[in-house]
């Protein structure tokens, strides 16, 4: 079955041997080259088709995007021409990135405009969430680690995408990497001074301002900046965590902010990162993708930073703080530096946690939640309880009851093979010689964990967070590490023979220290030794 590429055709489906469309008489083979297969999408400003390129060996699939204004007004036609040329120029400039579709051809045909792009086989994130449901915090962090470097590259080319949303992010079937599509709404001449001047806005700009809910206020006001894309990525994160699009969420009537916190269960630090991405005021938002990446990379250090600030010899005692958290030695005027402010904020948070008896790092004992003495005041220090080693039964039972946080626990030598511990947090946990063979550890956080000589053979570690983990001498034969984050992890002597590292964040220097063989799937998707 062939498909007529005339968007006005009433019955576009035709037999394979047809030369002209039976319904409208248009040539089936556009420009004697492109053979339509099916309609992919249709909007107010154009239509997208799947086609094959019959002029190339193997007749590869491609996407033909036709830009066709609904009005016959000459001014609108000129706008369409400018939009067409702008998208072609942008794709030509940034299409060398492996996660952006390549521009293959562009032309004007029968007074209509066509772009031909590389076809990306896979499902978009909107389809993934509809099919599988929302994903965890670890999964969303993995998403950010993929899209933010891509955004850095696009912004470095002075391009603002302006329509980032789940439907425009395709998980490529070939290597499971995200691909950003639909650059029809881009603004590719970025000048902050001009962006602030409303007289610079053209009628063309008014036509492609993005998707309501995903586009921030300054973009809807026709003044997009790089931070506008940061906001759209933040809204996409909320969709991935909740399965709710912006139209399904409320907005704070006083501030205009999206109300989303009550629908998610995420760490305080990650919540703060998302809040800053979603600031309505562009001045208070992250300005570039690098700032978001830097904020996320700080998370593993926050506990040690807090401890260092609290126990530092030169630091004033909590007894010198007023109930409001002000430093009494400074005359009640409050902290005198950013470092002191951070220290006091961390102290206050810990004091509230200890006073209220809420569970935090270091309060688990034998797998049970031991409540702190609620009679203590916020200014008093609470002695640390001695952490007791969990046994296999405690870990399994606690997990089945809903516990996911095993951070800093001593799990050395435990036999946890064939268990399902997906989505758990083992940050800074001790797992020396622990047997996790064939365990389900997808989306699990092993950041800074000690996994020396751990048995992880045939374990599923897909999208696991293993940054800064010690995996020296670990048995990872046949393990699934696809899209796992192994940034700065120690792999000295680790056995990765037959492991799947497709899409994993790992360097050549790390892999050189490990054992690989012909069956190892490298991050590129190819098999063989590094």
Residues noted as catalytic: 163
Burial of 96 (0-12, 13-18, 19+ CB in 10 A): exposed
Phi, psi dihedrals of residue 118, rounded to the nearest 5°: -60, 135
Nearest Cα neighbor of 298 from 270, 275, 274 is 270
Enumerate residues 6+ apart whose C-beta is below 8 A from 385: 362, 363, 365, 370
Enumerate residues 6+ apart whose C-beta is below 8 A from 168: 124, 180, 181, 182
**CA 138 to each of CA 109, 289, 326, 444, 505: distance values in angstroms, whole numbers, following the listed order:** 47, 19, 36, 7, 14
Enumerate residues 6+ apart whose C-beta is below 8 A from 42: 7, 48
Nearest Cα neighbor of 495 from 457, 440, 444 is 457
Instruction: Let me know: does 186 contact 90? Beta carbons within 8 Å.
Output: yes
Burial of 12 (0-12, 13-18, 19+ CB in 10 A): buried
Radius of gyration of the chain (CA): 27
65 has binding-site annotation? yes
Phi, psi dihedrals of residue 197, rounded to the nearest 5°: -105, 110
Q: How far apart are CA 523 and CA 175, in angstroms?
A: 9
Instruction: Let me know: does 52 contact 29? Beta carbons within 8 Å.
Output: no
Helices assigned H by DSSP within 111-225: 125-132, 137-156, 192-195, 217-220
Tokens 């066709």 identify what position?
68
Q: How far apart are CA 343 and CA 169, in angstroms?
A: 40
Q: Which two tokens stand for residue 370?
A: 């031991």
Instruction: Let me know: does 491 contact 511? Beta carbons within 8 Å.
Output: yes
Q: How far apart are CA 347 and CA 316, in angstroms?
A: 11
Phi, psi dihedrals of residue 231, rounded to the nearest 5°: -60, -45
Within 10 angstroms of residue 481's Cβ, the number of other Cβ atoms is 27
**Could you tell me the sign of the dihedral formed by the alpha carbons of 22, 23, 26, 27, in that order?**
negative
β-bridge mates for residue 42, sequence order: 47
Q: How far apart are CA 145 and CA 135, in angstroms?
A: 15
Phi, psi dihedrals of residue 372, rounded to the nearest 5°: -70, 165
Give Cα 380 to chain centroid, integer Å.
40
Q: How far apart are CA 83 and CA 100, in angstroms?
A: 19
Estimate the share of the chain in helix, then strand, then coil, as percent rounded to the nearest 5.
30, 20, 50
Binding residues for ATP: 65
């Amino acid at each position: 079955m062939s498909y007529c590429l005339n968007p006005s055709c009433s019955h576009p489906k035709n037999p394979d041997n047809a030369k002209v469309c039976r319904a409208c008489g248009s040539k089936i083979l556009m420009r004697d080259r492109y053979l339509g297969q099916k309609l992919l999408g249709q909007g107010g400003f154009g239509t997208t088709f799947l086609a094959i390129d019959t002029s190339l060996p193997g007749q590869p699939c491609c996407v033909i995007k036709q830009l066709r204004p609904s009005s016959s007004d000459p001014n609108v036609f000129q706008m369409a021409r400018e939009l067409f040329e702008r998208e072609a120029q942008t794709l030509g400039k940034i299409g060398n990135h492996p996660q952006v579709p390549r521009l293959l051809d562009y032309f004007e045909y029968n007074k209509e405009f066509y772009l031909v792009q590389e076809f990306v086989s896979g499902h978009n994130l909107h389809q993934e969430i509809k099919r599988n449901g929302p994903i965890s915090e670890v999964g969303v962090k993995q998403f950010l680690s993929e899209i933010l470097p891509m955004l850095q590259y696009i912004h470095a080319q002075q391009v603002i995408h302006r329509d980032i949303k789940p439907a425009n992010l395709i998980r490529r079937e070939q290597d499971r990497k995200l691909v950003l599509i639909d650059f029809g709404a881009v603004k590719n001449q970025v000048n902050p001074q001009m962006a602030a001047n409303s007289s610079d806005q053209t009628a063309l700009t008014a036509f492609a301002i993005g998707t309501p809910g995903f586009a921030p206020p300054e973009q809807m006001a026709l003044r997009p900046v790089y931070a506008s894309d940061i906001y759209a990525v933040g809204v996409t994160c909320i969709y991935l965590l909740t399965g709710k699009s912006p139209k399904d969420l409320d907005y704070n009537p006083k501030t205009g902010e999206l109300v989303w916190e009550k629908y998610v269960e995420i760490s305080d630090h990650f919540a703060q990162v998302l809040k800053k991405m979603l600031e309505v005021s562009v001045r208070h938002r992250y300005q570039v993708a690098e700032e978001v990446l830097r904020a996320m990379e700080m998370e593993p250090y926050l506990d040690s930073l807090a401890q260092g600030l609290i126990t530092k010899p030169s630091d004033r005692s909590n007894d010198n703080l007023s109930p409001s958290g002000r430093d009494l030695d400074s005359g009640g005027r409050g902290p005198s530096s950013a470092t002191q402010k951070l220290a006091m904020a961390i102290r206050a948070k810990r004091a509230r946690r200890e006073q209220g008896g809420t569970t935090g790092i270091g309060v688990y004992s034998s797998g049970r939640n031991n409540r702190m003495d609620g009679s203590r005041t916020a200014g008093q220090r609470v002695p640390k309880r001695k952490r007791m080693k969990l046994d296999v039964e405690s870990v399994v039972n606690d997990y089945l009851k809903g516990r996911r946080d095993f951070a800093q626990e001593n799990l050395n030598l435990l036999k946890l093979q064939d268990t399902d511990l997906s989505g758990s947090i083992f940050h800074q946990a001790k797992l020396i010689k622990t047997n996790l063979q064939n365990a389900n550890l997808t989306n699990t956080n092993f950041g800074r964990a000690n996994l020396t000589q751990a048995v992880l053979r045939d374990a599923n570690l897909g999208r696991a967070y293993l940054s800064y983990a010690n995996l020296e001498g670990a048995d990872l034969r046949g393990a699934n590490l696809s899209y796992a984050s192994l940034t700065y992890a120690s792999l000295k002597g680790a056995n990765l023979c037959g492991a799947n590292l497709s899409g994993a964040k790992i360097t050549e220097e790390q892999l050189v220290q490990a054992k690989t063989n012909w069956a190892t799937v490298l991050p590129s998707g190819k098999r063989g030794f590094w």
